[in-house]
Chain A
């Protein structure tokens, strides 16, 4: 009986890192797009563009997910 510990470890590692990274990035996106009060105009623009970048990253991850399902 040989259990494929390497594959299991890989699944564990990849799932952990990817989940935490994606959730983290998306949360930053939410925070960036909802921040406004008590800030100067420039930093709001900065926050908004950072949020867009975060969402774009997540969208890319979703596209990669669909690619993985389809192939």
Chain B
């Protein structure tokens, strides 16, 4: 580890950040239906998924040697700047789709980013167009069809078999089965996707001459990649979980079981037969298939169309961001710095935009999008809006302080005394004020 240059260091950190976004972006794949059917409580579901992702990262020693699956001409040597630019494209696209609540493939974002950066840096010679079609476009079309058809038929079968049974009695069994399938999806995700990050970091280390060519990733790389993806998973991409668990179709326990089993089987079959399909596409397809399989089940095609458009845009959009980043980053040290600063600023901007309508574990299953009644929103909004909150409690409710007022009401049911108590609290200790009202809210919140 002694001769890691600043650039390689930046690439490693960026790769881990991508790994983290990959984790929270893909929590939905394993856990969206598990959460929406009520098989597990939201927090417990993401915690289980996180642990299994971590275990999965250590499970397989068979490391993907080529991060780009042959789409790029890696023999010519990828510069660290290009890897960095590719990662920036992938991270930003992941964040943008998360903001929009769209399930999209993190792997495609990474591939798109690397392709775009290579195009900008090396030109068309560095990209194998055939392989792009073979590995990206066809699977994106095939995955939802394969998993969807399987889930639809399985849903029909299970409803038909259990048509005379008591729904309340069978629900418990279905939920247990669904949790098992979801666990398998999480495990497979940890193995596959954490390895992509390990591959990127290892490639950067090799390109910097720290590791010999064809070296296996050192333990600290495996461990940090596993931890980053697990932390991301535990954070939970609640916006995407909501879209997948509630937005595409309404899921009952039998459907959730059928969908998750179809997803797990399809993922395992595809990765072992050698026609790799994206986990996200498989899971979304399975959810829609199970929606079609139940009598009276409805798939919201407007949401599905939005999702498909997102899939189509993933590769070019991540590629475009990466290409621009690559052009800037190749200008030298200042270029890399500029791209890094731009990445931080845009990420912060996206995060700020997401605070306008917070989705988290408390309201993930409320399909009604107007529900900012959670503790987290209060915590941050109160921090900036303490002053604004003071005049509001007397009765008038200006918009920016609405959240604070709601939270104060939630703490103590009688509004006037509760507000007064909270208010005097804030005034006596201005520094700790914001923490006070939000703390009890956390207990009250479901």
Give chain A's interface residues, CB within 8 Å of chain B: 1-4, 7-8, 10-12, 14-16, 18-20, 22-24, 26-31, 33-34, 58, 62, 65-66, 68-71
Is the pair B265, A70 in contact by a Cβ cutoff of 8 Å? no
Q: Is B1 an interface residue (CB 8 A)?
A: no
Is the pair B62, A27 in contact by a Cβ cutoff of 8 Å? no
In the assembled complex, the CB of B441 is this many whole angstroms from the nearest CB of chain A, namely 40
Is the pair A4, B275 in contact by a Cβ cutoff of 8 Å? yes
Contact partners of B134 in chain A: CB under 8 A: 1-4
Is the pair B187, A24 in contact by a Cβ cutoff of 8 Å? no
Is the pair A15, B188 in contact by a Cβ cutoff of 8 Å? no
Task: Identify which of B130, B133, B150, B187 contacts A15 (C-beta below 8 A).
Answer: B150
Is the pair B146, A65 in contact by a Cβ cutoff of 8 Å? no
Given A15-B269, A18-B269, A24-B158, 5 more A-B residue pairs with CB atoms under 8 Å apart are A8-B142, A19-B154, A30-B162, A34-B166, A62-B180
Is the pair A69, B149 in contact by a Cβ cutoff of 8 Å? no
Task: Identify which of A3, A12, A20, A58 contacts B154 (C-beta below 8 A).
Answer: A20
Bound complex: CA A44 to CA B60 (Å): 43
Bound complex: CA A23 to CA B147 (Å): 14
Task: Identify which of B62, B161, B261, B277 contacts A11 (C-beta below 8 A).
Answer: B277
Contact partners of B133 in chain A: CB under 8 A: 1, 3
Bound complex: CA A66 to CA B56 (Å): 10
Interface of A is mostly: helix
Is the pair A20, B170 in contact by a Cβ cutoff of 8 Å? no
The residue on A at minimum CB distance from B171 is A30
In the assembled complex, the CB of A20 is this many whole angstroms from the nearest CB of chain B, namely 5
In the assembled complex, the CB of A7 is this many whole angstroms from the nearest CB of chain B, namely 4
Task: Identify which of B59, B147, B170 contacts A69 (C-beta below 8 A).
Answer: B59
Instruction: Tell me whether A16 and B153 are in contact in the complex, defined as CB-CB below 8 angstroms, given that A29-B173, A66-B184, A69-B184 are known contacts.
Output: yes
Contact partners of B165 in chain A: CB under 8 A: 30-31, 34
Is the pair A69, B56 in contact by a Cβ cutoff of 8 Å? yes
Is the pair B138, A3 in contact by a Cβ cutoff of 8 Å? yes
Instruction: Tell me whether A15 and B158 are in contact in the complex, defined as CB-CB below 8 angstroms, given that A31-B170, A62-B180 are known contacts.
Output: no
What does the 1/0 interface line of B130-171 toward A look like (CB < 8 Å)?
Answer: 100110001000100111011101110110011001100110
Is the pair B162, A22 in contact by a Cβ cutoff of 8 Å? no
Q: Is B177 an interface residue (CB 8 A)?
A: yes
Contact partners of B180 in chain A: CB under 8 A: 58, 62
Bound complex: CA A69 to CA B56 (Å): 8
The residue on B at minimum CB distance from A36 is B169
Contact partners of B262 in chain A: CB under 8 A: 15, 19, 23
Bound complex: CA A15 to CA B191 (Å): 20
Bound complex: CA A71 to CA B188 (Å): 11
Bound complex: CA A24 to CA B261 (Å): 11
In the assembled complex, the CB of B273 is this many whole angstroms from the nearest CB of chain A, namely 5
Q: Is B174 an interface residue (CB 8 A)?
A: yes
Instruction: Tell me whether A62 and B150 are in contact in the complex, defined as CB-CB below 8 angstroms, given that A4-B275, A15-B266 are known contacts.
Output: no
